[in-house]
């Protein structure tokens, strides 16, 4: 008990506040993780996003337009697609820009597995929903049927469903071009 008297009260309060803050952040992240895992579309956009082709000329505008049109037909809104964006908009590959879905060529180091062909990193807020997203398509795999459409689905806020033939199935070989809310 004598040792505790040597520690100033301000340090004790600061330590307790830090521990409470850390516990709160951890609990909040776990709640969001559970919510995302149990909800098919946990996040939506307040305003339609802009889509940028940061992959480059090898990714044909037709692939992007076809994928965007798929989601528009399902009721999603896209502000517009820019096939030749200003280079400075695409320069920061790891930064998620507000109001924008950026599509990049993904290098092997981007993916956690050899089997991963596409990856979407998204940023969302509890108060505003989707903020922005970056899509990474493994180099040379953009022509795989439904791959880009699937990743744009993630960028629009959808999660995976383990139903064969569904556009949001996590395995490319079991993915289809059908969409319905499970």
Q: What is the pLDDT along the chain (182 residues), one digit of tens a residue?
A: 566 677 777 777 777 877 777 777 666 666 555 666 667 888 899 999 999 999 999 999 999 999 999 999 999 999 999 999 999 999 999 999 999 999 999 987 888 888 889 999 999 988 899 999 999 999 887 788 899 999 999 999 999 999 999 999 999 999 999 999 88
Q: Are residues 86 and 20 in the same domain?
A: no
Mark out the alpha helices in 74-162 (DSSP H runs): 87-90, 147-155
Q: Are residues 94 and 21 in the same domain?
A: no
Give the per-residue pLDDT at 42.
86
Is residue 15 in a domain? Answer: yes
- Please state whether the predicted TM-score (pTM) of the whole model is above 0.75: yes
Q: Are residues 161 and 83 in the same domain?
A: yes
Scanning the structure block, which residue is given the tokens 């990049």? Answer: 104
Q: Are residues 11 and 77 in the same domain?
A: no
Backbone angles phi, psi at 63, to 5 degrees: -65, -45
CB atoms within 10 A of CB 106: 22
Q: Are residues 152 and 73 in the same domain?
A: yes
DSSP type of residue 166: B
| Beta carbons of 169 and 175 less than 8 angstroms apart | yes
Is residue 137 in a domain? Answer: yes
The sheet with strand 50-53 has its strands ordered as: 80-82, 50-53, 100-106, 129-138, 118-125
Is residue 180 in a domain? Answer: no
Beta strands of 69-128 (E only): which ranges? 80-82, 100-106, 118-125
Backbone angles phi, psi at 166, to 5 degrees: -80, 140
Domain with residue 157: its CATH number is 3.40.390.10
| Beta carbons of 163 and 171 less than 8 angstroms apart | no
Is residue 181 in a domain? Answer: no
Q: Are residues 119 and 57 in the same domain?
A: yes
Q: Are residues 128 and 165 in the same domain?
A: yes
Three-state DSSP class for 22?
helix
Domain that holds residue 7: 2-38
Number of domains in the chain: 2
Tokens of 44: 């939506």
Give dist(CA 33, CA 38) in Å, integer: 9
């Amino acid at each position: 008990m004598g040792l505790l008297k040597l520690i100033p009260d301000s340090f004790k309060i600061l330590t307790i506040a830090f521990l409470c803050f850390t516990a709160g952040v951890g609990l909040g992240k776990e709640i969001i993780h559970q919510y995302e895992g149990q909800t098919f579309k946990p996040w939506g956009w307040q305003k339609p996003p802009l889509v940028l082709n940061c992959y480059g000329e090898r990714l044909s505008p037709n692939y992007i337009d076809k994928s965007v049109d798929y989601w528009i037909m399902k009721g999603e809104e896209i502000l517009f697609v820019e096939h030749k964006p200003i280079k400075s908009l695409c320069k920061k590959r790891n930064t998620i820009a507000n109001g924008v879905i950026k599509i990049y060529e993904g290098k092997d180091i981007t993916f956690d597995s050899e089997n991963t062909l596409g990856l979407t990193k998204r940023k969302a807020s509890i108060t505003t929903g989707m903020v922005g997203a970056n899509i990474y398509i493994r180099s040379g795999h953009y022509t795989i049927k439904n791959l880009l459409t699937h990743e744009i689905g993630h960028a629009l806020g959808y999660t995976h469903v383990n139903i064969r033939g569904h556009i949001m199935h996590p395995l490319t070989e079991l993915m289809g071009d059908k969409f319905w809310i499970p």
